[in-house]
Chain A
Amino acid sequence: MKVVAVLIVVAALLIGAIPLFTDCESQGRAIKLPDGRLIAMKCHWTGRAELALALPIAAVGGLLAFSRRRELRRNLGALGIVLGAVAILVPVALIGVCASSDMLCNSVMQPALILLGTLVVAFSLVNVAWPGQPMEQAA
């Protein structure tokens, strides 16, 4: 089960890191307003939201690695499922990414976040379904 917890932490790190290198701002792209000002595209805000989500996901993974109580592992797993689902929803529906498939945020960032979010959900589901032995038996 520790393997699964470590995988959740790795997925969280990638969820936080990938948008930093694949959003349009990192590629030097921004929306030019009629008055000449440049504003960030929505993929940038998706990246920020994912960074904020990566922290609790990593915390869930970390706690799962050290937790030996079945109930706690099950609850942490449930929390991981919710956080993983939100990590998928942010680039797909809640904020989104740029519409053009030529852009890196559309072709790399969004699919990578969907994949990683799904993996977080799957790994968390493993903890909910098989929370391991209770502490008394494991000891």
Chain B
Amino acid sequence: MNLWRLARRNIAGSSFRSWVVFGCTLVVTGLALSTILLINGAQQSLQLAVRRLGADLMVVPQGTETRVETALLMGTPVQVWMPDTKVAEIATVPGVAQASPQLFLSSLKGAACCSASEMFMVAYDPQTDFTVTPWLKNNLGRGLKLGESIGGTSVFIPEGEQNIKLYGYYLTLRGNLEPTGTNLDQTMFLTWETAEDMAHKSYTQAEKPLIIPDNSISALLVKVAPGAKAHDVAEHILTDVPGVTPIESTNMFQTYRQQITGLLRAMTLLLSVTVILSLALISFIFAMAANERRREMGVLRALGATRGLVLRSLLAEAGLLALAGALPGILLSVFCVLLFRTLLIRILGVPFLVPSAGDVIVLVVGTLVMALVGVGLAALLPAWRISRLDPSIAMRE
């Protein structure tokens, strides 16, 4: 009888113990991998969202920073306005290379004139824009015309229709941006001209008009001149331009970064407690099993089995159980995180982007190794003790 067959027989022979070890490993690996995937996905999502904004600074009306960040990340519609004279004021601040204004709009909730409810819309100025236009030039070969738009990856044309209807205005979707895992995926980008045309026509075509206050903008994206520091430019804006708050891209979404850090701490604590309890339980189970099998091991030793073989057979049993529990645990956690990501984003209140296949493979292998090492260590002491026992004493007991 070889080592693995002996281990398999031992597993089948003590089904309750085996089920407990299997269950513990399944829960721990599943929980560990889900946590890692969620935190990893949230961090990647934030980084991509900052990159997508494509600006060194975002200037918003004073006191609206959190609302704007929430709108960009989680999709809570926001209406913030500041006078458009701020564009000229900020453009003259030392270190500012480019400044491009944007309007933040949203579609109506549950209205027949809007095919998407409460969709976040960003209107940009094609003359000064440096964030959307380069993408358009690379992918579309031209800018957007009147009545055209591009959307985040989740923006789609409703089934059976040719266009997206917002405020009774038919918008042609010209393309979709890559996913970020944030609300930017559900955001529609259109030119200022299209937004004004939509607002104008909404008075006759929509249930409620789209109101864009005269001479107002919602935010200003700033590109810093080469050699200038974003932090210094932000300080200049803060002192020279009243009524606005500059947010550095590196400090963007601070609230969510803190939320993710808090989530990470809570998950790590929960995971640590679960891992410690599970390993203690597994260790206890193996100690019980080893104790019950003293005579059996004694006979095995008397028949010529070495101490090493006894030790290896118990460790092989632990390894097989760890593998049997970890594999479904890993599969379930990856599957659940992928399937329920929309729900998780809503419940946890953080953005989430599915990590790349390479990252997932690395995390899966890491978790599998962790499970094997963890269960192996938990079984090592009882296995070592029983393997050191004298066969005659073991058989007598």
Contacts and interface: CB of A to CB of B under 8 A. Distances in A.
Interface residues on B, range: 10 to 19
Interface string A1-43: 0000000000000000000000000000000100000000000
B314 to A, nearest CB: 25
A116 to B, nearest CB: 11
Contacts, number: 26
Interface residues of A, number: 13
Interface in B93-117: 112, 116-117
A118 interface: yes
B159 A99 contact: yes
A115 B337 CA distance: 11
Given A106-B342, A107-B342, A115-B335, A101 B112 contact: no
B117 A100 contact: yes
Given A100-B117, A118-B335, A111 B159 contact: no
Interface in A95-121: 99-102, 106-108, 111-112, 114-115, 118
Given A100-B117, A118-B335, A111 B158 contact: no
Given A99-B158, A100-B117, A114 B339 contact: yes
B112 A32 contact: yes
Nearest to B19: A3
Interface in B111-155: 112, 116-117, 154
Interface string B334-377: 01100110110010000000000000000000000000000000
Nearest to A104: B343
Given A32-B112, A99-B156, A111 B117 contact: no
Contacts of A114: 339
Contacts of B339: 111-112, 114-115
